[in-house]
């Protein structure tokens, strides 16, 4: 019996060595040709003239190209296509056209690969704006969910000049937006979608002095769905604009905001314009990049900028660029909001955001591929060399008999040989 076990283990070890060689060779080939998808984002195309905004965009994109990024696959814009606020779609349409032309002058990109959110300066009826909700990439390389001004409005509960004249149902509208977001996330969870998902909103979520006018007083409805879906395994990036004047965002980073999962965010209590709480983020949260103007008291960073996302199989490399080149993804906070002190963390560019993934039977390592590494983890566990993480033990029980044993090694070995 003892000799039989030794023979089985000897065979397993030999198999692991052979498969490891195959895995290393395959990895070397893949690493040399690692594919990526590149997106770029910005917000608030609100220069004095459209031509001024276009010049800023072109100059920033020059710096992006000089850094070695020769192509982009998509543009994500989070609202306010014009500086005017008089409910005329034609003015937003003019800004949108100027922004498109500026991007196309530097990169070869199709209109279908550009997503445009309507901000509080962009009325209903603006031609060229994207549809609310699902705007996913046609090839499935990333997800996009659009939240327009009328889905989650500024000055909630106040009649405004851009078509949002509803007062009594603002809370219910935002509840509906949160419900639509949940339905979208539920589909992604069911499909085990492990690519990045970009949720685009003109309005941010965090509490600022602007909340006294209604901004973000119902943000927690949306925040809760973002956090819940992130905890279930989705890779979510919430992009916003809007607060590019006064000192609204100084305490959190000024014009360059980036909060990563497990950072803190301050939200208004639901329906309140004066009280707030601090919560732990489970998703990534950042300014899309202001390209019109920025006027704030923050002495650390008030750059006009755009953000670049280089999406790989297992990570997103995120960088922020100004007209002078690459800058910090997150600037230091300045000042405070009530009891919440300035967030002085600074995150340099590029910042690596590791993508979570949904496991399946046999996937025991973190390399996203079922291969010799998984077999080695299982073997070492059974030989009491290295104990397997309890969170992934269920994925080692290949035949679902409630026991992890040599039978599972045989099944996994056969699977790997088939995959190879």
Q: What integer is the mean pLDDT of 235-245?
A: 97
Last residue of a domain, one of 306, 334, 354: 354
Tokens at residue 67, please?
């850094």
CATH number of the structural domain spanning residue 410: 1.10.1330.10
Q: Is 110 exposed, middle or buried (0-12, 13-18, 19+ CB in 10 A)?
A: exposed
Q: Which helix (H) or strand (E) holds 354?
A: strand 351-354
Please indicate, yes or no, whether residues 340 and 371 belong to a single structural domain of this protein.
Answer: no
Q: What is the pLDDT of residue 283?
A: 98
Pairing of strands 258-259, 143-147: unpaired
Between the alpha carbon of residue 337 and those of residues 111, 265, 412, the distances in Å are 40, 11, 54
Least confident of 61-65, 269-273, 351-355, 388-392: 388-392
Contact (CB, 8 A) for 279 and 231 = no
Q: What is the pLDDT of residue 160?
A: 63
Tokens at residue 319, please?
């960088």
Please indicate, yes or no, whether residues 347 and 368 belong to a single structural domain of this protein.
Answer: no
Please indicate, yes or no, whether residues 198 and 260 belong to a single structural domain of this protein.
Answer: yes
Q: pLDDT tens digits for 24-79? A: 444 444 445 789 999 999 999 999 999 999 999 999 999 999 999 999 999 999 99
Rounded CA gap, 305 and 52, in Å? 14
Mean of the per-residue pLDDT values for the chain? 89
Please indicate, yes or no, whether residues 411 and 349 belong to a single structural domain of this protein.
Answer: no
Please indicate, yes or no, whether residues 322 and 376 belong to a single structural domain of this protein.
Answer: no
Q: What is the pLDDT of residue 26?
A: 47
**3-class SS of residue 16:** helix
Q: What is the pLDDT of residue 338?
A: 81
Please indicate, yes or no, whether residues 199 and 273 belong to a single structural domain of this protein.
Answer: yes
Higher pLDDT residue, 138 or 163? Answer: 138
**3-class SS of residue 291:** coil
170 pLDDT higher than 80: yes
Q: What is the pLDDT of residue 328?
A: 98
Q: What is the pLDDT of residue 167?
A: 54
Please indicate, yes or no, whether residues 67 and 147 belong to a single structural domain of this protein.
Answer: yes
Number of domains in the chain: 2
Q: What is the pLDDT of residue 164?
A: 58
**Domain extent for 8:** 2-31+359-419
Q: For the chain, how many residues are written?
A: 420
Q: pLDDT tens digits for 301-323? A: 899 999 999 999 999 999 999 99
Q: What is the dihedral of CA 86, 91, 93, 96, to 10 degrees?
A: -100
Pairing of strands 315-322, 74-77: unpaired
Q: Which helix (H) or strand (E) holds 222?
A: helix 219-231
Rounded CA gap, 171 and 169, in Å? 5
Last residue of a domain, one of 331, 354, 377: 354
Please indicate, yes or no, whether residues 22 and 60 belong to a single structural domain of this protein.
Answer: no
Using 50, 70 and 90 to split pLDDT, how confident is the model at 14? low
Rounded CA gap, 173 and 307, in Å? 30
Q: What is the pLDDT of residue 419?
A: 63
Please indicate, yes or no, whether residues 415 and 345 belong to a single structural domain of this protein.
Answer: no
């Amino acid at each position: 019996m003892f000799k039989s076990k030794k023979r089985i283990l000897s065979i397993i070890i030999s198999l692991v060595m052979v498969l490891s060689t195959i895995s290393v060779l395959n990895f070397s080939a893949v690493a040399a040709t690692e594919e990526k998808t590149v997106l770029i984002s910005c917000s608030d195309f609100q220069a004095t003239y459209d031509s001024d905004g276009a010049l800023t965009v072109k100059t920033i994109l020059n710096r992006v190209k000089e850094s070695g990024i020769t192509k982009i696959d998509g543009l994500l814009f989070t609202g306010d296509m014009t500086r005017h606020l008089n409910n005329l779609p034609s003015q937003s349409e003019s800004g949108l056209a100027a922004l498109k032309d500026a991007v196309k002058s530097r990169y070869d990109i199709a209109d279908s690969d550009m997503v445009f959110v309507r901000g509080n300066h962009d009325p209903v009826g603006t031609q060229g704006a994207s549809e609310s909700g699902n705007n996913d990439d046609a090839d499935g390389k990333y997800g996009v969910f659009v939240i327009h001004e009328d889905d989650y409005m500024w000055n909630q509960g106040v009649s405004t000049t851009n078509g949002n004249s509803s007062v009594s149902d603002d809370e219910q509208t935002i509840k509906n937006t949160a419900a639509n977001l949940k339905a979208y996330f539920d589909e992604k969870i069911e499909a085990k979608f492990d690519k990045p998902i970009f949720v685009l909103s003109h309005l941010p979520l965090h509490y600022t002095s602007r909340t006294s006018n209604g901004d973000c007083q119902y943000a927690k409805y949306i925040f809760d769905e973002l956090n819940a879906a992130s905890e279930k395994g989705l890779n979510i990036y919430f992009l916003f604009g809007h607060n590019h004047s006064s000192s609204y965002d100084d305490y959190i980073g000024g014009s360059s905001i980036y909060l990563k999962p497990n950072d803190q965010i301050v939200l208004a209590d639901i329906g309140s314009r004066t009280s707030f709480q601090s919560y732990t983020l489970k998703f990534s949260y950042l300014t899309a990049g202001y390209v019109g103007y920025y006027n704030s008291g923050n002495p650390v960073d008030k750059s006009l900028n755009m953000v670049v996302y280089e999406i790989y199989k297992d990570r997103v490399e995120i960088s922020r660029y100004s007209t002078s080149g690459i800058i910090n993804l997150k600037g230091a906070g300045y000042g405070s909001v009530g009891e919440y002190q300035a967030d002085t963390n600074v995150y340099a560019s590029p910042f690596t955001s590791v993508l979570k993934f949904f496991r399946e039977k046999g996937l025991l390592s973190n390399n996203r591929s079922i291969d010799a590494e998984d077999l080695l983890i299982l073997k070492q566990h059974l030989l009491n060399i290295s104990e397997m993480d309890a969170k992934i033990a269920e994925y080692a029980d290949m035949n679902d008999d409630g026991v992890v044993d040599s039978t599972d090694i045989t099944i996994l070995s056969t699977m790997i040989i088939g995959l190879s």
